[in-house]
Structure 1
């Protein structure tokens, strides 16, 4: 049992900063939390003094590609042996953990390496964040993601493809409703899997209590996915009023992945990303910002994801998603809520993580500075606790190293 005290707590449920706090952790879980005035001097002597630092729940990143290295052309590494891809993935996941992310969702696997990696973390063979995987994304023949995804056409094939992923033991199903930025020969907003195809796959996931997520840039693809019953829309670049209305009606969540453009525009142009990808991203960026703000103001449930693993989009850069939100005018506390309890709700894990409360998992961050005062404080995490244990991982120099 650990007694931790003398810190300011960010309570993402009540949306307040609580000074002079303490927390008692037994094993993996929080068993007591409150004002440190109730602690005896003996308890303080046995405990750990956090010296007035700030404690907040571990962050979520709901949209990553753990098995993808964020270089100019990540697909150039697809030929690698699955064992090497798995090792790369572990390094990436540990980068997430060291940067304050205690829960991630992986949006597309590679060579079936992701299931074993996830299980190795769950069995505590290796250290990493809580890791939910979709296995192979489901895409139409020749669609976005077809180089690594499961191609399927028509409701019957999509139903079978979803069952294949579920048989492998995935945590959720990922579908591709539109084209993408990185795929040559297609527009990012063009419609791909249609409503009936996605509905067939979504039903299979929901039958066994699994969530679903959709890659969707164009408005028609977003509407198809929402009508099909999708749980979260990823990217949503051309989100319009009708999309937002449908999402509110059907309680569909939104993960905008704003940070991907920050990294792509800052590093991609000068470091070799294909010009067609840059042009598509520029075309979508302005519309995405407008749609995100409309969705936020309308009350759509919004979580945090960065699309880490895309070109020069690092696996230690989750803080930039929150910075992007705040720079667009989102209240800082609300951005922290999006990165924690709201994201936990989207992933379906809010009963056991996402906030610091009794009986929940002791996944939290210790920071020298309060991110409510300055969101950039999230760039420098002092300590990370996962499942009640202080995480200590070796420093690995691993590309890309960005300023």
Structure 2
């Protein structure tokens, strides 16, 4: 391994294996009518898309992911197929569906709940399906004009009921929160993690520092400048909203980071044009926050493992830990771009990829 650096397998704390806001042109299936209507085979095609995505994510160096929800509980089947060696992919911890106050902005993503009893019922439904964690959508989607992302989608009694039900079953709770009030309400309700954090204020930051709560930054969700592929799918009104929120989001994460809030690496890939397999590129963007290379790498390894409650199993190259390892060409502490040049990937002790030069081989 001369000239290479051995690292723990990378961890993406928030992504979507089953969402494709910008379609992957490499995998086009006949699952919709010309007018966009979904055919009966939609869930079957979604499963195959998910398998394709999972392999791409693994081959980019990510051996563990926490998924933020999809349609039809396909993510649970995907998780189990990976665990049983039927398909290749990262170890996946899934939430099934997001608990939402209304219809979701992606078909099949939301599990609607009304009132405290409805929230408990939603959590119990997800528990029945066998999810690993709970995801609650506390803010409205920014891509739906007319919806106010600054207000909380659920009342405090509703949110507390969901958190209590999840915690009683030993599951953690993360919330999609953009806006100071949704963030602070979520924190006071006892959630474990904040996803996005757009509009975070000093009260939120103080609470997170006091209680050691991680922020999942998702720097490209929303992006400050939408990609051409994303822009082609959106109206001018939505694009302007994305740009405005994108700048606010970046400044919010930067503010939280410089105040001392800990960041756990998360991409939201599948959303906003962040494509599966490009997950590691967000590590490079974290430099714009003022983070150093070691801190950035920890955010996707040991810190990420702590954030998701797996610090005793993954995130370190250490005896007794899962043998999830990658080797990259060069030294990412000196040149962070090296993290994109993965030569070796090992998951649970099994070599998935090995392009290391053979010792003694001639150039």
TM-score normalised over the length of structure 1: 0.80
Residue aligning to 1:316: 277
The answer (yes or no) to whether the contact 1:61–1:306 under 8 Å persists in 2 is: yes
Displacement of 1:145 in angstroms is: 5.6
Shift of 1:244: 0.6
User: For residues 163 and 270 of structure 1, do their structure 2 counterparts lie closer, same or farther at Cα, with a shift above 3 Å needed?
Assistant: closer
Alpha-carbon distance between aligned partners in 2 of 1:272 and 1:141, rounded to the nearest angstrom:
23
How big is the shift at 1:262? Answer: 4.2
1:66 corresponds to: 17
Q: What's the CA shift string for 1:21-54, capped at 9, x where partnerless?
A: xxxxxxxxxxxxxxxxxxxxxxxxxxxxx12311
Equivalent residue in structure 2 for 1:93, among 50, 54, 64: 54
Q: Give per-residue Cα distances to partners, 1:118-176, cap 9 Å, x unaligned.
A: 11111222221010001110010246567521011111101110111011110000001
Q: In structure 1, what is the equivalent of residue 124 of structure 2?
A: 163
Measured after TM superposition, the shift of residue 337 of structure 1 is 0.5
The answer as to whether partners of 2:163 and 2:189 remain within 8 angstroms in 1 is: yes
Distance in 1 between residues matched to 2:157 and 2:106, nearest whole Å: 20
| CA displacement at 1:276 relative to structure 2 | 3.3
Structure (1/2) with the larger strand percentage:
1
CA deviation after TM superposition for structure 1 residue 267, in Å: 2.6
Which of these residues, 40, 63, 68, is aligned with residue 102 of structure 1? 63
1:254–1:300 CA contact under 8 A, matched in 2 = yes
Which residue of 2 is the match for residue 40 of structure 1? none
Asked if residue 178 in structure 1 is aligned to residue 139 in structure 2, the reply is yes
Residue matched to 2:257 = 296
Residue 69 (structure 2) pairs with residue 118 (structure 1): no
Residues 373 and 125 of structure 1, relative CA distance in 2, 3 Å threshold: same
Q: Which residue does 2:2 correspond to in 1?
A: 51
Shifted more, 272-281 versus 93-102: the winner is: 272-281
Which residue pairs with 1:275 in the alignment?
Answer: 236
Whether 1:81 aligns to 2:42 is: yes
**CA, structure 1 residues 269+157, in 2 after alignment: closer, same or farther (shift >3 Å)?**
closer
Change (3 A) 1:81 1:263: farther
Matching residue within 187, 204, 210 for 1:249: 210
3-state DSSP of counterpart to 1:91: helix
| TM-align CA RMSD | 2.3
Q: 1:210 to 1:165 in 2, by over 3 A?
A: same
Alignment counterpart, residue 266 of structure 1, candidates 214, 227, 235: 227
Structure 1 pair 376–181 and aligned structure 2 pair: CA distance change class (3 A): farther
Whether the aligned pair in 1 keeps the contact of 2:22 and 2:230 (CA below 8 Å) is: no
Q: How does 1:377-392 map to 2 (within 5 A)?
A: 377-392=338-353
Q: d(CA) in 1 for partners of 2:148 and 2:108? A: 17
Contact between 1:143 and 1:192, CA under 8 Å: does it hold in 2? no
Aligned to 1:336: 297
Unmatched runs of 5 consecutive residues or more in structure 2:
26-31, 355-363
Partner Cα separation in structure 1 for residue 351 and residue 157 of structure 2: 47
> Residue 72 and residue 275 in structure 1: after superposition, are their counterparts in 2 closer, same or farther (change >3 A)?
farther
Work out whether residues 217 and 253 of structure 2, in 8 Å CA contact, stay in contact via their aligned partners in 1: yes
Pair 143,84 (structure 1): closer, same or farther in 2 beyond 3 Å: closer
Question: 1:356 — aligned with what?
Answer: 317
Query: Residue 233 of structure 1: CA displacement?
Result: 0.4
2:226 aligned with 1:226, yes or no? no
Q: What's the secondary structure of 2:300's corresponding residue?
A: helix
Cα distance, 1:66–1:183 mapped onto 2, change above 3 Å? farther
What is the CA deviation profile of residues 296-334 of structure 1, one whole-angstrom value per residue up to 9, with x for unaligned ones? 223222101111111421111222221111122111110
1:10-25 paired onto structure 2 within 5 Å:
none
**Structure 2 contact 224–243 (Cα < 8 Å) conserved:** no
